[in-house]
Structure 1
Amino acid sequence: MLPRLGVPGVDALLALWPLLAWAVTLVAVAGVANAVNIIDGFNGLAAATSMLMFAAFGYVAWALGDAFIVQVCLAMIGALAGFFVWNYPRGLIFLGDGGAYLVGFLLAEVAVLLVVRHPQLSPWFCLLVCAYPITETLFSIYRRWRHACHPGMPDRLHLHSLICRRVLRGASRTPETKIRRNSATSPYLWGLTGVAVLPAVLAWRQPWAMVLGVAGFVAVYVALYCAIVRMRTPSWLRRRLA
């Protein structure tokens, strides 16, 4: 279970009430598993972003001398890389709910193990590494609440859906052009994932940098989402497909 969250006061409560710590851990693991399933909407999206996150966890585990977690991360990167070859760009196979939930569950468990096994590591590092799928999920819940919809109702207003429809220009009337549009969407989100993963890897020893990194990523995500919704996407992000 998670012994701490890096939040003053909350950590004291977790130490005082083990049942609360168990409940927080269950919510965190289930939340990350569901978050990875939510971003599994386009060819190569969930697989590549998960590889980036496992790579970040594996690197820090290596720096901390945790061989077990390094092995788990390398195994997951290898499995996802083998899947990625067939999934991107043409979508010959798919993760499906079972695959996405499994990847998300293992990602969450690796994060929990890092926090439990290494007291010197800030939990905010794990939050920053997984910032993209977590932010996507929480923002989706907020968005649906604002529109008086059930949080579990599906929609086409996820960031990856908006990028596909509004940032990528050009016709998508034939199966071939639809596949091209689908595969062209994912690199945008790989880059967004890097906005969180890169600073997490570079400054993982500094808890304050992790907190700032999470706040900065959320700001970037919301700004990008609002710009696309308002049809004000920066020109350097727009791409026309032939």
Structure 2
Amino acid sequence: MVHNAMLHFEWHEFVLAALAFVICAAVVLLRSRFPRLSGRTADLRAVQSMHTRLTPRVGGVAIFGALGLSVIFAPVSISGPYANFVLATSFLFVVGLAEDLGFHMSPRRRMLAAMGASLLVIWLLGVWLPRAGIPGFDLLVAHWVIGVPLTLLVTAGIANGFNLIDGVNGLASMTGIAAAIALSYIAELAGYATMVHLSMMIAAGIFGFFLLNYPFGLIFLGDAGAYTIGFVLSWFGISVLLNSPDVSPWAILLTLYWPVADTVLAIYRRSRRNKDVSAPDRLHVHQMVMRALEMCILGRNRRQIANPLTTLVLSPFVIAPPIAGVLLWNQNQNAFLAVVVFGVLFFGSYAAAPSLIRRFRLPSGYNRL
């Protein structure tokens, strides 16, 4: 029955993908007439910058446009609560868009906006993360004193995580599409038809943006897009856990593994160096991979090739955890073990990367990392 429902909603997904694509195309075509859409010169000098020319950073308008239109296509049974959810999400979207348009919003303000949006969801819908897949601790999570702060941490953290991985063409949007499709499959396996539809519609909206973001980077997600994707998907995961008691929280974590792992790594890396955890740097995994491609394979001045190639190289590692999440959707212990295994591989590979790059770099490459 769920499968038939998915087929019925395919045209809605096409509409949302087309809407996102048209909005992005319009921004790209109009950027010369509206300079504020063309990005800021300071963006090219930012420490974390991975691009070489001014590029619109308002792809979030397309993402939120598709999200807003999805309210019309949502199942009637949840149209009211879903509209309230989109309304709460709009608060975070507006703050992110302000940053993208040049009105400075510090990382602290953006994190507070993400938490504020989650508080709105909790207030409007009366729900929070129901369990964490940890025996004993789940009894505490059920109470709002523990559950609400944990929910704020998880949703704001994942929203910020998508912003952190939005550094090369296609990476954040590909991660979002993979996570949304995985959540849809898990919802289908658990018999939660509503989330099958919602997740696939979000995947379609992100895909419409992806077509103009990858491989040439004609438009970027920006803070509004990255934060919105992470926020929506984190709450979709919570919704699956609320409505499907057999689903493992660790399986849901696997669907969103890459931004979570990158966030944990960034916090550890910056804390170890006694730096502000919100301070940008050039040491994210995608940045290391792109520099490795330039230093070991492509040579210098090949950024336009190295940038999209980085996403292609990372794609199997980004997609593998969501696939594992689908396969282990109702196996809590095995899903937890998968999280551990992927964690060892992720952090172990990162630790080994600098020495490998130095060993295999081209003679004419950079002198050092």
TM-score normalised to the size of structure 2? 0.60
Q: How does 1:29-68 map to 2 (within 5 A)?
A: 29-68=155-194
Identity %: 35
Q: Could you say which residue in structure 2 is the equivalent of 1:117?
A: 243
User: Once structures 1 and 2 are overlaid, which stretch shifts more, 91-100 or 192-201?
Assistant: 192-201
Q: How does 1:173-188 map to 2 (within 5 A)?
A: 173=301, 177-188=302-313
Q: Could you say which residue in structure 2 is the equivalent of 1:129?
A: 255
Give the number of the structure whose alpha-carbon radius of gyration is greater: 2
| 8 A Cα contact 1:124 1:211, kept in partner | yes
1:79 aligns with 2:205: yes
Counterparts of 1:212 and 1:74, CA distance in 2: 28
Which ranges in structure 1 are unaligned for 5 or more consecutive residues?
A: none
1:170 aligns with 2:298: yes
The number of residues matched between the two structures is: 232
The structure whose RCO (Cα within 8 Å, separation 6+) is larger is: 1
How far did residue 231 of structure 1 move?
Answer: 2.0
User: Once structures 1 and 2 are overlaid, which stretch shifts more, 79-88 or 186-195?
Assistant: 186-195
Runs (4+) of structure 1 exceeding 6 A deviation are: none
The residue type equivalent to 1:170 in the other structure is L
The residue type equivalent to 1:216 in the other structure is V
Q: Could you say which residue in structure 1 is the equivalent of 2:24?
A: none
Out of 194, 217, 227, which is 1:101 matched to? Answer: 227
Counterparts of 1:40 and 1:158, CA distance in 2: 10
The residue type equivalent to 2:306 in the other structure is R
Q: Could you say which residue in structure 1 is the equivalent of 2:326?
A: 201
How far did residue 167 of structure 1 move?
Answer: 3.7
How far did residue 226 of structure 1 move?
Answer: 1.4
How far did residue 233 of structure 1 move?
Answer: 8.9
| 8 A Cα contact 1:125 1:207, kept in partner | yes
How far did residue 178 of structure 1 move?
Answer: 1.8
Q: Could you say which residue in structure 1 is the equivalent of 2:273?
A: 147
TM-score normalised to the size of structure 1? 0.91
| 8 A Cα contact 1:35 1:136, kept in partner | yes
The residue type equivalent to 2:279 in the other structure is M
| 8 A Cα contact 1:172 1:181, kept in partner | no
Q: Give me the CA root mean square deviation.
A: 1.8
The residue type equivalent to 2:246 in the other structure is Q
The residue type equivalent to 2:141 in the other structure is L
The residue type equivalent to 1:82 in the other structure is G
Specify the SS of the correspondent of 1:71.
Answer: helix
| 8 A Cα contact 1:195 1:217, kept in partner | no
| 8 A Cα contact 2:190 2:247, kept in partner | no
The residue type equivalent to 1:227 in the other structure is A
1:228 aligns with 2:353: yes
How far did residue 43 of structure 1 move?
Answer: 0.4
Q: Could you say which residue in structure 2 is the equivalent of 1:211?
A: 336
How far did residue 188 of structure 1 move?
Answer: 2.3
Counterparts of 2:314 and 2:148, CA distance in 1: 32
How far did residue 45 of structure 1 move?
Answer: 0.4
Cα 1:125–1:233 change in 2 (3 A) is farther
Which ranges in structure 2 are unaligned for 5 or more consecutive residues?
A: 1-127, 363-369
The residue type equivalent to 2:318 in the other structure is T
